[in-house]
Structure 1
Amino acid sequence: MLLKSIRLQNIRSYLDQEIDFPLGSTLLSGDVGCGKSTILLAMDFGLFGLRKGELEGTDLLRHGKDRGSVTLIFEIDGREVEITRTLKRTKDSASQDSGTLIIDGKVQELMPVELKSKILELFGYSQEILKKNRPIFRYTVYTPQEKMKDILFDADTRLSTLRKIFATDKYGVIKSNAKIFVTELRSMKRENEAVSRDLEAKLAEKEEKETEKERLLVLLDKQSVDISAIDAALAEKQEYFEDVRKKMDEISSVRKAIARVESELKAKLQREAKVVRDLADIAEKMSSAPGSGETVDVVSLKRRIDEMEEKKEKIIRENAVVSSEFRRLEGIMKDGVCSFCNQPVSKGDFQKRLDERLRVMQELKRNMDFITASVAGLRSDLSRGEKLQYERRLLDEYRRQQISLEGEKQSLSSEIAVLHGELDMLANQAGSEDEVAKVFSRVQEEISVINRSKVVAEKEKARCEQQLYDIDGFLKSAEREILEKRKAKEKILCINELMNWMDSYFTALMDVIEKHVMAALQSAFNDYFQKWFGIIMGDQFSVRIDENFSPVIEQNGYVTEYTNLSGGEKTAVALAYRLALNRVINSMIETIKTRDMLILDEPTDGFSSEQLDRIRDIIAELQLKQIILVSHEPKIDTFVDNVIKVYKEEHVSRIVS
């Protein structure tokens, strides 16, 4: 991470100020209270937001202003990131509002918690230590001057924090979890002991049921043999019964045939009697039928009648024409004027014409009367001829009926004789019906007795099979329970071994590993601490880091308490400790991406002129791409690459680059 710029709007003593941060070492210089530390607080807020009890909104928002903001631009992994956080004043405090995050030009509007999560992700802090993000950033990049003393004096908090940062606290967690695990193992052991407690009783019960099963299997075999014998006897009786039933069916069929033949014979006899009556009736009709040999040509008569009718129609049409002409001429003569030309007419001439028409009409009437009389005579002859034809056809029909009835009578006589013979034969076949019926009833009763005995035997067999089924179900369940109980006993052995291993070896192993890891960290920390302290103070003191990561200062063979040191000596211890923390954390945690930058807040408080000169050596030794120092010491201006001067005018902080 490399910081490029920061913009403060209504943040403490700043109204609207943008500050660019070049690479290399940069000094924020100015008098006490001019606003240097405000820039660092704004940077802290821009990255991580407000923190209750540590960084409140009212600590940052300028008095009299309702809104404020901080915009940070930095580079990380070659990408430019811009983050803006805002503050708004409420009734009793100042709270965070939503902010924006711009990465490579892509804008995201996020809530404060979301912004913090994104920043932590960009910084490469692993998921396991996300909840410890503030100590990591504070112990590596930026520690406020008043917080460094807290780190040095509060040994318990410091050691706990370092354990969390370097993940060595996991060994304590593992030991705690191991105790919980052993407790759970004991609970599992009690559960398995409860499961396996009645194993022997269950084995004895299983053996008893297996003996009962063997007895029932023998009984079941005997019952199966008995039922097979009953089935054989039943099959034999049913076969005999089937033969008797067939005989009964045959007798029934004969009885039905007798009834059918008797019915048919009765019908034939009745038909024969009717045929005899019909023959007598026909003979009587034939004797009374006329026997005239006269013949009439009916066809010729019909043709002549049709011709006369045509002539009659023709005469009627002619008469209609002549009558119409007669009436017309009669009207003209009566009027004396022609209706077409309106000329007077000659009555004598018209009278002749009327007489001629009258003559024609009379002639047509005579012809009509003659034809009418002729047609009447012909129709009378036709009626008589048709009657003669009907009588001849009727006589012919009587003769045909007589011949047919005579043939039918002969056929019926023959069929009746055959039916009498068939009836006698069937009567002989049905003679043993009563005897067969008695045998049928007796065999039917015998079959019922055998079936009842079979039902009893099958019930006994079913009862035996049900008992076997129940025993098999019990044995399967018992086998599962016995298997479960044996597994429970095996689990108890495994649990005992595991509990012994956890109690005797595992916990001790975690202690050893933790001590080795902490010793390695303490050794590396000690080397860095001695190095930085030696650069600052020379060989005036002998320093080291103890097993609690507390600084131990010796002078002339005696341990000197930190509180007894001078102001500059205290600052030297704090700075060396701070730089050692930075190096150890950056070297041990590979994922973090803030190792190229360091912020030192008033690192030279109480330093002598000689100690101030050694700050130049420290800056060179650090070999970081970006170092930001906050100091009011004018001499440091000559040690750094860049100087940003901060001054306050009329309660407003301003920058001179």
Structure 2
Amino acid sequence: MIFKTLQMENIRSYEKEKIDFPNGTSLFEGDVGSGKSTILMAMEFALFGLGNQRGDALLRKGSKKGSVFLSFNVEEKEYQIKRTLVRGNNDSVRQDKAFLSADGRKVQLSPSEIKERILDILNFKEPPNPRAQSVIYRYAVYTPQEEMKFILAQKPDTRLETLRKAFGIEDYKTAADNAKLISNGIKDKINYLSGQVSDLEQKKASLIELNRKLTDNNRVLALSTEKRAELESALSKYREKLVNLKEIEFRLRQVENEIPHLEKQIKDRDDLITRYQDEIQETEIENQEKFRLEMDELEKIEKPTSISPEELKEKIKLIKEAVQNRKELFTTLKLLKENKAVIKEKLEDWKDKTRDDFIKENQELTQKLRESRDLLSQHQKEVNLILKKIYKLEGQLDDINNKLENLDELGEICPICGSPLDDAHKKDLKEERERESRKLNSEIKVLNEVKKKGEEQIEDDNTLIEQIRNELSNYKSIIDKFDELDGVNSRINRVEGNISNIDDMLSLNIQEDNDFGNFDQYIQHLEDLQEKLNKYFGAQKSLESIRYQYNKNIEKIERKKSEIETLTDKIKQLDVNLTKSKEIIKQLPEIDRKLVEVQSLHDSTDEEYRGVNDKVVETQTLVKRLTEDVHQLDKEIKEKETLHNRLEVLKNYHSWFTDYLIPTLSVIEKHVMQNIHLDFDENFKNWFNLLIDDPSKTGKIDEEFTPIIEQDGFQQEINYLSGGEKTSVALAYRLALNNIVQKVSTGMKSNLLIMDEPTDGFSKEQLFKIRDILNELNYPQIIIVSHERELESFADNIFQIEKIDGVSEVSKVN
């Protein structure tokens, strides 16, 4: 795999950046925190997705969307991949749809689908888990230096688990562990099944005994069932007789119970007749002594007028409103006449003139004002024309004065005639321009005098216009007074007409023989009449109510008399029914005697039946239980025989797992790890000797893949090494690991290596060892990320990374 182009948009500290990767060794250098590692994270994200890291660790803070585009070659074939990150409403970041292009075809895939495609393209034989990083990529192409130090610091067992994944041989241990789990599971099942089948022979003997008991109880059940049938037939006959006798007794008891009810009904109806007779007497007294007298008294009240109450009420309302309006109109008329007198007093000075006279004079003044304004406009135009001439002449005068001042600067040749410019020529030029200056000053003086006269004329025009405006204002005020007087006269005429109309209306409505002194007396007369009319209609309403009650009482008397006749007939019928009922109940003693006799026979038979039935039920229950026990026991015996057969099979399986499979897997893994260990140890020694130029120190890898450092034959703790030596050990371990992973990974070819801060803590002498490492590796493409500027001399291409105002930028150094 060879990287071609990386494009980042809103990824960590990058807003928008494009990087083209050339072949050879490329160094990405910059200060700590400038954004170097982000480039490596973006490339890994583009290939394999987020893995186990969170999306908000990659997406730039405050950005809603970010993306990474990566193009790369595999076996001379170019592929392009683009992944996108999107920030949701709850600030969580997720992967969106991704795109993969190859052979001119572009497909859209989910994050997990595209990782599976990439693993297939790179021929990485590992599971496509979207939540895990690519183990082969991490240990064959790019291993962060800090992660390698972390691996070295792990416990041996943990480190071996990590290395098994990197070497792709964790399947042996996984298979052995799974085989042990299966074997233990089989063993548990063997123990369980052995316990389940231990009582098989005992259950077979119990089945024979249960079948014998079942046969005996079936014989007893047949005899008891036959006896129960005979007793059941006898009981049925006794029940039928009892039902018939009880039905006769029930009917006789009903008749017996009805006698008190009949007697009570007769008494209740006699009492009701007495009560109705008393109510009739009370109602007749109420009609004669109360209602009749009240009706006679109310019928004497006469109607005071033929007008209806509504008409009378409307008439009173109409007259009151008319009188009130009449008063208000007289008040308004008085005010209008006073206003008219005031206006006439103000127009006293112009009593010899009419409104039309003032309008005519107003029109003449308006025409005069228009002419004065036209004349003013003409004078202003003339003054403006004179001003323009003055400004023009003053400009010419300034030009002449400037030329006089600059006469000595004209040089040796006259700019006007082209002849030599001597002192005499200069004097002639000066005298000529002074004459022109005097002439212009004279013209300007004359024009200023004309302008002054014009301005005085304009001032006179403005004074005349103001006088005319004042006169027009006075005329307008006088005309408005004439208009106001006409308006007042018009309103007075309308008010007097309204008063006349109201008087006519009142004359039409007041047509009485009585002579009333004023309108208030007449209104009082109408209100008294209204009160009498209301009293009359109230009496009529009361009379109607009393008549209604009087007639209701008459209807009540007739209704009660009719009900008394009905009750009398009903009492006669009840006396007949009572006599019949007393005759019928004389049969009750004989029926009771027969009931006792038949009930006694029924009870004795029923008691015997219950005993036999209990025996049948008990025997049936026992037979049913025995049958179920036989079936259950037979079923258990068959199941246990099946379990016994399965037990034998599981014993064979357990023996195969424990005696053959698990030991074989352990031997295979140990043999593979021994071969890898030999190769790993040799690679580590080579890189260690290349990086640490100290003959007294040697390095090797033990069986647990732990680096062992010795000095002069004595083992030395790695923690006591210098910072540069620790980095050298980690780098040697990393390079050995990269080499071994590339060998054991069938799809990995040695053409790309990424190194992240490989020289952290190196001295200057150690830094120059990197050149030897690069020459030894001889990869077509190597990408180094470092803040060490000394590495520039080892690189074919140098990229400078700077962060400005929180934004990282990459620039290639020529």
TM range (shorter): 0.5 to 0.7
Paired residue secondary structure (2:704): coil
Cα distance per residue 1:48-99 (max 9 Å; x no partner): 22245xx333333333432221111101132211111122333453332222
Cα distance per residue 1:202-243 (max 9 Å; x no partner): 999xxxxxxxxxxxxxxxxxxxxxxxxxxxxxxxxxxxxxxx
Rate the CA distance shift 1:7–1:624 in 2: closer, same or farther, 3 A.
same
In the other structure, the counterpart of 2:167 is: 166
In the other structure, the counterpart of 2:30 is: 30
Provide the rounded CA distance (Å) in 2 between the counterparts of 1:111 and 1:582.
30
> What residue identity is the alignment partner of 1:566?
S
> What residue identity is the alignment partner of 1:534?
N
Q: Which aligned pairs between 1:192-203 and structure 2 lie closer than 5 A?
A: none
By how many angstroms is 1:152 displaced? 1.4
By how many angstroms is 1:169 displaced? 3.0
Q: Which ranges in structure 2 are unaligned for 5 or more consecutive residues? A: 206-636
| Regions of 4+ moved over 6 Å | 190-204, 482-494
Provide the rounded CA distance (Å) in 2 between the counterparts of 1:141 and 1:75.
15
* Pairing partner for 2:76 from 75, 78, 92: 78
Q: Is the 8 A contact 2:48 2:133 kept in 1?
A: no
Paired residue secondary structure (2:768): helix
Q: Is the 8 A contact 1:46 1:85 kept in 2?
A: yes
Q: Which aligned pairs between 1:357-376 and structure 2 lie closer than 5 A?
A: none
In the other structure, the counterpart of 2:118 is: 119
> What residue identity is the alignment partner of 2:743?
S
Q: Is the 8 A contact 2:168 2:745 kept in 1?
A: no
Rate the CA distance shift 1:526–1:197 in 2: closer, same or farther, 3 A.
same
Cα distance per residue 1:126-164 (max 9 Å; x no partner): 255868653321111112233222111123432211123
Q: Which aligned pairs between 1:230-309 and structure 2 lie closer than 5 A?
A: none
Provide the rounded CA distance (Å) in 2 between the counterparts of 1:130 and 1:95.
16
* Pairing partner for 1:561 from 712, 717, 726: 717
In the other structure, the counterpart of 1:291 is: none
In the other structure, the counterpart of 1:19 is: 19
Provide the rounded CA distance (Å) in 2 between the counterparts of 1:134 and 1:60.
18
In the other structure, the counterpart of 2:141 is: 141
Provide the rounded CA distance (Å) in 2 between the counterparts of 1:95 and 1:185.
44
Q: Is the 8 A contact 1:27 1:642 kept in 2?
A: yes
Provide the rounded CA distance (Å) in 2 between the counterparts of 1:185 and 1:168.
26
> What residue identity is the alignment partner of 2:49?
G
In the other structure, the counterpart of 1:515 is: 670
Provide the rounded CA distance (Å) in 2 between the counterparts of 1:631 and 1:617.
17
In the other structure, the counterpart of 1:599 is: 754
Paired residue secondary structure (1:513): helix
Cα distance per residue 1:491-541 (max 9 Å; x no partner): 866755654454345433433333222222222111111111111113342
* Pairing partner for 1:527 from 682, 685, 706: 682
In the other structure, the counterpart of 1:548 is: 704
Q: Is the 8 A contact 2:692 2:728 kept in 1?
A: yes
> What residue identity is the alignment partner of 2:106?
V
* Pairing partner for 1:59 from 54, 57, 60: 57
Provide the rounded CA distance (Å) in 1 between the counterparts of 2:802 and 2:127.
43
> What residue identity is the alignment partner of 2:803?
K
Provide the rounded CA distance (Å) in 2 between the counterparts of 1:59 and 1:195.
58
> What residue identity is the alignment partner of 1:124?
N
Rate the CA distance shift 1:493–1:17 in 2: closer, same or farther, 3 A.
closer
Provide the rounded CA distance (Å) in 2 between the counterparts of 1:179 and 1:651.
55
In the other structure, the counterpart of 1:647 is: 802
In the other structure, the counterpart of 2:85 is: 87
In the alignment of these two chains, the number of paired residues is: 385
Rate the CA distance shift 1:560–1:490 in 2: closer, same or farther, 3 A.
same
Rate the CA distance shift 1:558–1:62 in 2: closer, same or farther, 3 A.
same
Q: Is the 8 A contact 1:646 1:656 kept in 2?
A: no
* Pairing partner for 1:585 from 708, 722, 741: 741
Paired residue secondary structure (2:60): coil
Provide the rounded CA distance (Å) in 1 between the counterparts of 2:85 and 2:646.
61
Does residue 1:102 correspond to 2:101, yes or no? yes
Deviates more, 1:22-31 or 1:1-10: 22-31
**Which has the higher Rg, Structure 1 or Structure 2?**
1
> What residue identity is the alignment partner of 2:61?
H
In the other structure, the counterpart of 1:47 is: 47
> What residue identity is the alignment partner of 1:122?
I
Q: Which aligned pairs between 1:85-484 and structure 2 lie closer than 5 A?
A: 85-93=83-91, 94-127=93-126, 133-155=133-155, 156-183=157-184, 185-186=186-187
Rate the CA distance shift 1:568–1:193 in 2: closer, same or farther, 3 A.
closer
Provide the rounded CA distance (Å) in 2 between the counterparts of 1:78 and 1:85.
23
Deviates more, 1:60-69 or 1:505-514: 505-514
Q: Which ranges in structure 1 are unaligned for 5 or more consecutive residues? A: 205-481
TM-score by length of 1: 0.52
Q: Is the 8 A contact 1:129 1:165 kept in 2?
A: no
Provide the rounded CA distance (Å) in 2 between the counterparts of 1:581 and 1:115.
27
Provide the rounded CA distance (Å) in 2 between the counterparts of 1:483 and 1:88.
63
Paired residue secondary structure (2:66): strand
By how many angstroms is 1:178 displaced? 2.9
Rate the CA distance shift 1:493–1:615 in 2: closer, same or farther, 3 A.
same
In the other structure, the counterpart of 1:469 is: none
By how many angstroms is 1:556 displaced? 2.0
Provide the rounded CA distance (Å) in 2 between the counterparts of 1:66 and 1:181.
50
By how many angstroms is 1:629 displaced? 0.5
Provide the rounded CA distance (Å) in 1 between the counterparts of 2:649 and 2:49.
52
By how many angstroms is 1:636 displaced? 1.4
Cα distance per residue 1:557-607 (max 9 Å; x no partner): 2222222111110110111111111000110121235x4211001101121
> What residue identity is the alignment partner of 1:578?
R
Does residue 1:503 correspond to 2:658, yes or no? yes
Provide the rounded CA distance (Å) in 2 between the counterparts of 1:489 and 1:60.
61
Deviates more, 1:599-608 or 1:492-501: 492-501
By how many angstroms is 1:106 displaced? 0.9
Provide the rounded CA distance (Å) in 2 between the counterparts of 1:158 and 1:199.
52
Provide the rounded CA distance (Å) in 2 between the counterparts of 1:56 and 1:483.
58
TM-score by length of 2: 0.43
Q: Over aligned residue pairs, what C-alpha RMSD do you find?
A: 3.6
Does residue 1:68 correspond to 2:69, yes or no? no
Q: Is the 8 A contact 1:129 1:164 kept in 2?
A: no
> What residue identity is the alignment partner of 1:31?
D
Cα distance per residue 1:457-506 (max 9 Å; x no partner): xxxxxxxxxxxxxxxxxxxxxxxxx9999999898667556544543454
Provide the rounded CA distance (Å) in 1 between the counterparts of 2:15 and 2:149.
32
Rate the CA distance shift 1:564–1:127 in 2: closer, same or farther, 3 A.
closer
What is the percentage of aligned positions where both structures have the same residue?
44
In the other structure, the counterpart of 1:330 is: none
> What residue identity is the alignment partner of 1:547?
E
Provide the rounded CA distance (Å) in 1 between the counterparts of 2:722 and 2:700.
18
> What residue identity is the alignment partner of 2:685?
Q
By how many angstroms is 1:14 displaced? 2.1
> What residue identity is the alignment partner of 1:44?
E
Paired residue secondary structure (1:179): helix
Provide the rounded CA distance (Å) in 2 between the counterparts of 1:187 and 1:159.
30
Paired residue secondary structure (2:28): strand
Rate the CA distance shift 1:25–1:130 in 2: closer, same or farther, 3 A.
same
Q: Is the 8 A contact 1:120 1:130 kept in 2?
A: no
Q: Is the 8 A contact 1:100 1:110 kept in 2?
A: yes
Rate the CA distance shift 1:168–1:39 in 2: closer, same or farther, 3 A.
closer
By how many angstroms is 1:200 displaced? 9.5
Provide the rounded CA distance (Å) in 2 between the counterparts of 1:9 and 1:90.
17
